[in-house]
Chains A and B, each alone.
Chain A
Amino acid sequence: MNNVFVYCEIEDGHVAEVSLELLTKGRALANQLKCDLEAIAVGHKLEGVAKQVIPYGVDTLYLADDKRLYPYQTLPHNSIVVNLFKEEQPQIALMGASSIGRDLGPRVSSALHSGLTADCTSLEIGDHLDKKADKNYKNLLYQIRPAFGGNIIATIINPDCRPQMATVREGVMKKEILDPKYKGKVVNLDVSKYVSDSDFVVEIIERHMEKSKLNIKGSPIIVAGGYGVGSKENFKLLYDLAEVLGGEVGASRAAIDAGYVEHERQIGQTGLTVRPKLYIACGISGQIQHRAGMEQSAQIIAINTDPEAPINSIADYVITGDIADIIPKMIKYYKKNTK
């Protein structure tokens, strides 16, 4: 009761990265609140899940294992989570801001009348004084996210409703094993008590999951372009530089909306969060949503025609100029000095 809960997504028996990242964050929050960390996995053939998640500091793992529960479907997963939450009354519930978490989270929050904040970039514990009601709330979850075109950072709280729910994108939190020998218990749920046959109304005819061909997250060097790159053709310069340096190409949302590159390359609050050794931002103005996805890069080079671009303030190197002029020079001098 009153613990921190993480919904673990399963793909082919593997727990999703984002869920492991949330378990790490959940453990830290549970320590601060002096409560347990609990996890739920819903799917089929879940024997290997305990081994994967308990080392992250999970005290209780609930498993709902049934052939019909994999792949993910909204209604049965919703019923299990809602009914379990009614029994266990968690104070905080975290889900990945993924295709699954963003389908399930709102449904669960609506059923429980609890608040949900999407795409948080930071989660903290803090107090809140409601001056109007003269009521002091202790240890609330601060759900922090950029809002409104990135011009503001909002801290959202759910003072009265439980659980306090938040979704977080993959890569935003860091995953870290707490103790490979951590002792947690496993509870196998009696699935028939949590779902009814009428929840199984969707027939999945075909499912085709691709292992992402791109490995932008894992790349030590990222060359990213924004709207300022100007065209799909100009992006070729970025691919050239990335190839020479052994990196990957990323993009801001504006560049993707303009159709310069495919959306799998999006970096920022609603895309990937990356922490490369070197991030080269080309023609990116640097709105907060974009920065949320890359500001932890070890080194940042910003190339921009606008000397006042916000990205410049977080860059280690600020180059004011045209990428068509700068990038070929970078390639030239890289080659010259690495021979």
Chain B
Amino acid sequence: MKAYKIIVLAKQVPDTRNVGKDAMKADGTVNRAVLPAIFNPEDLNALEQALRIKDQFPGTTVKLLTMGPGRAAEIIREGLFRGADGGVLLTDRAFAGSDTLATSYALGQALKKMGKIDLIIAGRQAIDGDTAQVGPQVAEKLGWLQVTYVEEVIELKNDTIVLKRRLDRGVETVKCKLPLVMTVNGTAPECRVRNAKLLMKYKRAKTVTELQKENEDYTSLYNDRPDLNIPEWTVNDIEYDASQLGLTGSPTKVKSIENVVLQAKDSKVISGADAEIENMMIDLIKSHTIG
């Protein structure tokens, strides 16, 4: 039986679903420090799809690739706790200010350094941008086929895969050959939880930067256990064209950002008292809004 090499693209995102009142600073900029950083939800659906293939085809390896600041190493650790075999953190100031296209370029260049890959799986979109662009753009950068909105891998046999896609108004089943980039919908099965044994095994998996910060003497342990070393790649670990990186490589620019200020309507404030509700309903009926 064939074993596959799978890379999961994952992003650490601020939890925009739980934005509190202090999420914005007085000057109108986002206060990232108070927002919890989480594993992008649909990337977890993507990880689950990869792990299912690994369950089915022994010898398959699942690695994560994430781009972000140093603390995004948490994404790789989380993946290890759930059954992944490793991962790479792509981190450099040179990537700062990347839009989706510059992000895809950097990820594409990193993927080219990761050896032969059979399948790249990503979440459909990240909750901080909701663009759904990086998956297809990475596919284009690699010159690979993309299959978006995947809900289920129906069959995988040698290099042929059958996938069920969830579309706006229906479903589609497609058959195609590897390699390809697939993006996974939130409607796909949820990711398995952390495995207690893996948690024990990998809790000390760290990047060099993290170890230095903690002043840990890592040489002996990490010599014995190379799997605990989370590789950090900078721009110098990939081949690159500087004009395609970061802010410079981003065709889209943010011209302006406006804090949302609500223009208050002249609203009627009413209590839940019977008479007031009745009057409202009579008004609406009279104005032919209802009835």
A contacts, CB < 8 Å to B: 71, 74-75, 78, 98-99, 102-103, 105-107, 109-111, 113-119, 128, 142-143, 146-161, 201-212, 221, 245-246, 254, 257, 263, 269-270, 277-278, 287-288, 298-299, 301, 310, 312-322, 325-326, 329-330, 333-334, 336-338
Q: Considering the chains assembled together, what is the distance between the CA atoms of A114 and B28 in angstroms?
A: 29
**Residue contacts A-B, CB under 8 angstroms, 6 given:** A113-B251, A119-B131, A203-B176, A221-B290, A254-B17, A299-B289
Stretch at the interface among B74-82, B99-107, B203-211, B222-230: B99-107
Q: Considering the chains assembled together, what is the distance between the CA atoms of A319 and B169 in angstroms?
A: 36
Residues of A within 8 A of B262 (CB): 310, 313-314
- Is B115 positioned at the interface, with any CB of A under 8 Å from its CB? no
Q: With A155-B254, A315-B267 in contact, is A118–B130 under 8 Å at CB?
A: yes
CB distance from A248 to the nearest CB of B (A): 13
**B:112-156 near A, CB below 8 Å:** 128-137, 139-141, 145-149
Residues of B within 8 A of A333 (CB): 274, 277-278, 281-282
Contact assessment for B173 and A212 in the assembled complex, using a CB-CB cutoff below 8 Å: no
Residues of B within 8 A of A114 (CB): 251
Contact assessment for B281 and A110 in the assembled complex, using a CB-CB cutoff below 8 Å: no
Contact assessment for B270 and A116 in the assembled complex, using a CB-CB cutoff below 8 Å: no
Residues of A within 8 A of B148 (CB): 74, 99, 102-103
| Chain B interface size, under 10 / 10 to 19 / 20 to 34 / 35 or more | 35 or more
Given contact pairs A204-B173, A316-B268, enumerate 19 new A-B contacts (beta carbons under 8 Å).
A74-B136, A75-B145, A78-B140, A103-B136, A106-B132, A110-B141, A115-B250, A116-B101, A149-B16, A150-B260, A154-B257, A202-B175, A202-B176, A209-B169, A212-B169, A278-B290, A299-B284, A319-B271, A334-B290
Q: Considering the chains assembled together, what is the distance between the CA atoms of A318 and B140 in angstroms?
A: 49
| Per-residue A-contact encoding for B170-202, CB less than 8 Å = 1, 0 else | 111111110000000001000000000000000
- Is B263 positioned at the interface, with any CB of A under 8 Å from its CB? yes
CB distance from B101 to the nearest CB of A (A): 6
Chain A residue at smallest Cβ distance from B272: A321
CB contact between B260 and one of A102, A151, A221, A326 (< 8 Å): that residue: A151
B contacts, CB < 8 Å to A: 14, 16-17, 19, 23-24, 28, 30, 99-101, 104, 128-137, 139-141, 145-149, 162, 167-177, 187, 250-260, 262-265, 267-272, 274, 277-278, 280-282, 284-285, 289-291
Contact assessment for A151 and B263 in the assembled complex, using a CB-CB cutoff below 8 Å: no
Contact assessment for B256 and A154 in the assembled complex, using a CB-CB cutoff below 8 Å: yes
Contact assessment for A106 and B133 in the assembled complex, using a CB-CB cutoff below 8 Å: yes
CB contact between B171 and one of A74, A208, A254, A338 (< 8 Å): that residue: A208
Q: With A102-B148, A116-B252 in contact, is A313–B19 under 8 Å at CB?
A: no
Chain B residue at smallest Cβ distance from A323: B272
Q: Considering the chains assembled together, what is the distance between the CA atoms of A142 and B162 in angstroms?
A: 40
CB distance from A142 to the nearest CB of B (A): 7
Contact assessment for A337 and B281 in the assembled complex, using a CB-CB cutoff below 8 Å: yes
Contact assessment for B252 and A117 in the assembled complex, using a CB-CB cutoff below 8 Å: yes
| Most chain A CB atoms below 10 A, which of B139, B167, B271, B291 | B167
Chain A residue at smallest Cβ distance from B30: A148
Contact assessment for B272 and A116 in the assembled complex, using a CB-CB cutoff below 8 Å: no
CB contact between A317 and one of B17, B136, B280 (< 8 Å): that residue: B280
Contact assessment for A107 and B260 in the assembled complex, using a CB-CB cutoff below 8 Å: no
Top 8 nearest A-B pairs (CB, nearest first) are A115-B251, A321-B272, A149-B16, A115-B252, A209-B170, A161-B251, A110-B140, A106-B133
Contact assessment for A159 and B274 in the assembled complex, using a CB-CB cutoff below 8 Å: no
Q: Considering the chains assembled together, what is the distance between the CA atoms of A206 and B170 in angstroms?
A: 11
CB contact between A119 and one of B130, B137, B290 (< 8 Å): that residue: B130
| Most chain A CB atoms below 10 A, which of B146, B147, B251 | B251
Residues of B within 8 A of A203 (CB): 174-176
Contact assessment for A205 and B162 in the assembled complex, using a CB-CB cutoff below 8 Å: yes
Q: Considering the chains assembled together, what is the distance between the CA atoms of A183 and B64 in angstroms?
A: 54
Contact assessment for B270 and A204 in the assembled complex, using a CB-CB cutoff below 8 Å: no
Contact assessment for B169 and A74 in the assembled complex, using a CB-CB cutoff below 8 Å: no
Q: With A107-B140, A313-B267 in contact, is A152–B30 under 8 Å at CB?
A: yes
CB distance from A127 to the nearest CB of B (A): 10
Contact assessment for A317 and B270 in the assembled complex, using a CB-CB cutoff below 8 Å: yes
Contact assessment for B251 and A158 in the assembled complex, using a CB-CB cutoff below 8 Å: yes
